[in-house]
Structure 1
Amino acid sequence: MITNKQTPKLLRYLSGALMLTLAQAAAAAEDATEDAPKWSNQGLLYILAPTLSGTQGVGDLELDVDIGSSDVFDAIDSGFLGMYRGEGERWGVLVDVVYMDLKGSTEDTFEAFSGDMDLEQTVAIASVTWRVNDSLQLTGGALYSDIAATLSLSGPNNDRQVKVGDDWVDPVVGVLFETPISSAWEFIGAAQVGGFGVGSDLVVVLSGAFAYRFNSWSSVSLGYRYLDFDYDDGDGADRFKFDLKEHGPSIGFRFDF
C-alpha cells in the first residue's frame, strides 16, 4: 500500500523515468533522421546549337534535310531544353525534355523539288536510375517523340505543301557517368540506346559535358550532345520516315536544390 509520504517520491521517480524515456526517443528519432536516405534535386536549363542532317519521308516522297549549326539560331522559332535529376541513396529519376520549332531548306533525293520545311519536334526522356558506385549509374525508361512537319515544295510542274506528323514511344536503356576532376570541375557523360523495333528501329542519345561549380547550388556546363533517330512507319500515303541526326555543342546553367 502506498502512503501519502511515499507519493511525492513515486511521482518524482515516474517523472524522471518519463523524462529519460522521452530523451531517448528524441535521440533515436534524430539518429533515424540522420541515417535516412536524403533526396537530392538538380535542374539544368541549356542551349543547344545542333546540326540537323538526314532524311524526312512522307508517303513516297523523301527529302534530304541539312541545317548547319551556324544557321540554327536563324531557323529556330522557339524552343525549350531542360533536364531534372532526383536521387536518393541508390534509386533516382531522370527527366530530359527537348522542344524545338525549326525552319530550313530541303531538297528531295531526285533534286526535282526544292522548298522549305517547318519541323516541330518534342523529345522527352523519363528514366529510372540505379547507382552502381560513386561514378556510375544505370538507367532505364522511355523516350517519347512527337514530330510535326510541314513541307512546302516547288517543282517544275507544280507546287506542293504536305503536312505530316507522328508520335511514338521507345524503350531506352543506358549508363550515366560522372567524376570530379578537381574541387570545382567535374565531367558528366551519358549514353542511351533504344527503339529495338518497338517505336523506332534504333534511337541513340549521347552527351558529355564539363561542369564548373560556382558554389554549393549553382554551376555552368559546357558539352556536346548527339541524337540519332531511325524511324519508319506506315505504308503508301500514310508512310512517315524520320531518319535524322541532331548534334552540336551545348551550354547550360545547373542548379541544385
Structure 2
Amino acid sequence: MKSVIAAATVLLSSAPLLAADLASAPPLPALLSNGPSFSFTGYAWTAALDGRASTLPPLPAANLNLSFGDILKNMNVGLMGAAEMRIGRWGFLADAMLSQVTPGGSLPGPYFSSAKVRSQTLTLQTGVLYRIYADETFDLDVGAGLRFWNLDNELKIAPGSLNLRIDHSVSENWLDPVVAARMTARLGGPWSLTLAGDIGGFNLASRLTWQALGTVNYQWGDNWVFRAGYRALYVDYRKGDLLYETTMHGPVIAATYRF
C-alpha cells in the first residue's frame, strides 16, 4: 500500500517553477529593437523524486525515493510548454504543465482486492523579468511572478470479501509568489550558457519553494535553439493533513523557436 501512496505523489512533483527560463534571453541586438520578439519552448524533464508526502489524507505520509523510470511507467498524460515575449529590456513569461499518473496495485488480505490512484496536476505560471545589464557576451535579468497549482487526487479501493468499495478524493489549489534571476553568457559561435533560479512561497502558500536550472544552448540558424542541462526543484506545502515536501531533480532537454 505504501508504494501506491508514494506513486500517487509523483504527479505533484511535475509542476514547474519558472520553466520559461528555458526560453533563454535573445542576443543583444534584440534589446535595441522597437518591436516585440517571441519565443516558444517545448521541454522534457527526466527527473527523479525524493522527499515526503501525504496527498490523500487521512492516509499517512510516505517517504519518496522514485527514479524517472518509476514515474514514467505510471504516467499517462504529460504536457509541458513555455513562452516569452520581449519588448526592449522587459520579458513577459508564461508556463503551463499538465500531468496525470494512475498507479495501482493489489492489497494484502481478503477484505479488499486492489487500489488505484489517479493523480492530476495543472500548473500555470506568469512572470516579468527586467534586463538590468547587457553587453556583447552577457545578459542579466531579475524579476518576479506568480505560480498557480491545482492538485486533484483520487483513490479507489476495490471490494474483496466484504463487498465494500472505498472512494476518496482530495483537490487543492494555491498561489505562490516567486522572485527570480536569469543569466545568459554567449560562449562564442552558436554556443551559450543559461543559469536561472527562483525562490518563493514565503509561507504565504508554500512554506518555501526554490529552483535552480543550468543549460548549455546551441543556436541553429536564426530561429531555433536547442538546450540540455540539469534542473532541481524543491517545494514544501502543508495544509492540515496534506503534506508535500519534495525535491525533484534530473536532466532537462528543450527546443525553442524564436521570431
- TM-score normalized by the length of structure 1: 0.73
Q: Tell me the residue number matched to 2:244.
A: 242
- Between Structure 1 and Structure 2, the one with more helix by share is 1
Larger radius of gyration: 1
Distance 2:78 2:186 in 1: 31
Distance 1:56 1:87 in 2: 40
Correspondence list, 1:87-102, <5 A = 87-102=86-101
Change (3 A) 1:127 1:193: same
The answer to whether structure 1 residue 180 and structure 2 residue 182 are counterparts is no
Change (3 A) 1:105 1:221: farther
Distance 1:246 1:99 in 2: 16
One-letter amino acid matched to 2:256: R
SS at match of 1:61: coil
Q: Tell me the residue number matched to 1:22.
A: none
What is the number of residues matched between the two proteins? Answer: 213
Q: Tell me the residue number matched to 2:142.
A: 138
For 1:255, which of 244, 252, 257 is the aligned residue?
257
User: Aligned-pair distance for 1:122?
Assistant: 1.8
The answer to whether structure 1 residue 48 and structure 2 residue 45 are counterparts is yes
Q: Tell me the residue number matched to 1:69.
A: 68
SS at match of 2:60: strand
8 Å contact from structure 1 (residues 58, 241) kept in 2: no
One-letter amino acid matched to 1:241: L
Query: What do residues 77-123 of structure 1 show as CA deviations (whole Å, max 9, x unaligned)?
Result: 011111111112111211122221123479xxxxxxx9554321122
Alignment RMSD: 2.7
Change (3 A) 1:74 1:244: same
8 Å contact from structure 1 (residues 49, 72) kept in 2: no
Distance 2:97 2:195 in 1: 18
Return 5+ residue gaps in structure 1 as ranges. 1-34, 107-113
Identity %: 21
SS at match of 1:72: helix
Q: RCO greater where, 1 or 2, for CA within 8 Å and sep 6 or more?
A: 2
Distance 1:233 1:38 in 2: 45
Change (3 A) 1:122 1:241: same
8 Å contact from structure 1 (residues 166, 240) kept in 2: no
User: Aligned-pair distance for 1:38?
Assistant: 3.1
SS at match of 2:133: coil
Distance 1:200 1:159 in 2: 34
Q: Tell me the residue number matched to 1:202.
A: 208
- TM-score normalized by the length of structure 2: 0.73
